[in-house]
Amino acid sequence: MVRHAPDGADAPGFADRDAVLLIHGMSDYFFQDHVAARLHAAGYACYAVDLRKCGRSHRPGQTRHHVTEISRYDADLDAAVDLVLAAGHPRVVPLGHSTGGLILGLWLDRIRRLAPDRHARIPGAVFNSPWLELPFTGPRLPLTKAVTATMARLRPNMWTPDKGLPAYGDSIHASRHGDWDFDLAHKPLAGFEKRFSWLDAVRRAQRRLQRGVEAGVPCLVLHSDASRLNAPYAPATDTSDAVLVVDHIVRYAPKLGSDVELVAIPGARHDVYLSREHAREQALRLTLSFLDRVTAG
């Protein structure tokens, strides 16, 4: 867990702020200090969790990001939210990116049913390009799902043939074409290798969400207006989602619950808060407006 407290966590009024909890995606960790600073300036306390085996939470000998059940992350989110509430903050708005958005949607549905007291302290949720379907279209999508399920059963520890997403990394890192100097040990430009058992856990989690869950709170879903997948870096990479098929987000985000607002941000990257300035500012303004609305009163 990390938090943004430039005046110290004991500063007058800090514990009285509603909090935002950032949840990263695959091959990712929290480094978006500019988001934390913006949230803090707007009157919110910003926390972030590096999930088990990810980022700062990784320990020697662990396979980065590897789980065989997405529900294993429930304990991580339970602990993170409870720590934030124990610090005195009255409410927590979780903000999940990519795989973190998938994890968040399923977790909200579970705590709504199984931990209503914890759920009652969550007035809303933000989803930043949630990963709700494998990033393929046409016949390749069902074929990939079938192969993944079979390989997870027969060769669960085998690495997938995925070559990663170097174009996205090239687009955002300061050493290439981007503005962000994140730690490549925690977030390599092309991402980490993935086992079939991990990918199948994602597939099964996505299937559960696609059948419909109920977050039980207002949800804001932000995403790009275009995708550019399986292509080397080009200037167009900077103004599109180079990781996911945005049409999948549009199709399945309504399955998050009964109160879901989707906003396509022109020119946004996969992580909308790492977009070029115009799209990034729109994403931040939309986020702050939503936070003000769900925490009012």
Task: Find the length of the chain.
Answer: 297
Q: Where are the domains of the chain?
A: 2-135+198-295
297 has pLDDT over 90: no
Q: Model confidence over 253-268: pLDDT tens digits?
A: 999 999 999 999 999 9
Q: 2-135+198-295, superfamily in CATH?
A: Alpha/Beta hydrolase fold, catalytic domain (3.40.50.1820)
Mean pLDDT of 159-171: 90
Q: Which among 106, 113, 153, 150 has a CA at the least distance from the CA of 132?
A: 106
Q: Model confidence over 67-124: pLDDT tens digits?
A: 999 999 999 999 999 999 999 999 999 999 999 999 999 999 999 999 999 999 999 9
Question: What span, in angstroms and rounded, lies between the C-alpha atoms of 261 and 254?
Answer: 8
Q: Model confidence over 7-62: pLDDT tens digits?
A: 998 899 999 999 999 999 999 999 999 999 999 999 999 999 999 899 899 899 98
Collect all residues with Cβ–Cβ distance below 8 Å to 23 and sequence separation of at least 6. 48, 49, 51, 77, 94, 95, 96, 97, 100, 101, 103, 104
Please check whether residue 122 is in contact with residue 108, taking contact to mean a CB–CB distance below 8 angstroms: yes
Q: Sorting pLDDT into bands at 50, 70 and 90, what band is 163?
A: confident
Please check whether residue 69 is in contact with residue 172, taking contact to mean a CB–CB distance below 8 angstroms: no
